[in-house]
Amino acid sequence: MKTTCEVCSGAIEVPNDAIKGEIVSCPDCGTEYEVIEVKEGGVSLKPAEEVGEDWGE
């Protein structure tokens, strides 16, 4: 299945056997999404939570 990244409009490939809670990422901008619902012929995604990185403090 393919879906579109809401950040960069890149094409995200979601496995046909994706399950709820699975993390998929956009190959272009790296934004990660969590599969929140699997429906017939499609999935619903939401941006996954991420931990920030700070090397300078």
Partner 1 sequence: MVKVGIVGASGYVGGEVLRLLLSHGQVEVVSATSRQYAGEYVFKTHPNLKGVTNLQFSADDPLKVASKADVVFLTVPHGLSCKITPKLVETGVRILDMSADFRLKDPHAYEKWYGFTHPAPDLLGKFVYGLPELHRSELKGAKYVAVPGCMSTAAIVSLAPLAKAGLVEKDVIVDAKIGSSGAGGKPSLSTHFSERFGVVRVYKPVAHRHTAEIEQELNYVSGKSVQVGMTAHAVNMVRGILTTSHVMTSSKPEVAMIWKAYRGMYKDEPFVRFIMDKKGLYKYPDPKIAIGSNFADVGFEVDPYVNRIVVFGAIDNLIKGAAGNGVQSMNLMFGFDEKEGLNFPALHPV
Residue 7 found at the interface with partner 1 (CB under 8 A): yes
CA angle, corner 21, sides to 10 and 54, nearest 5? 65
Sole residue written with tokens 């403090």: 57
Residue 37 found at the interface with partner 1 (CB under 8 A): no
Instruction: Report the amino acid identity of residue 7.
Output: V
- Selected from 8, 15, 37, 46, the binder of partner 1 by CB under 8 A is 8
Determine the interface stretch with partner 1 among 5-13, 14-22, 38-46 (rule: CB under 8 A). Answer: 5-13
Contact 3, 43 (CB under 8 A): yes
Residue 32 found at the interface with partner 1 (CB under 8 A): yes
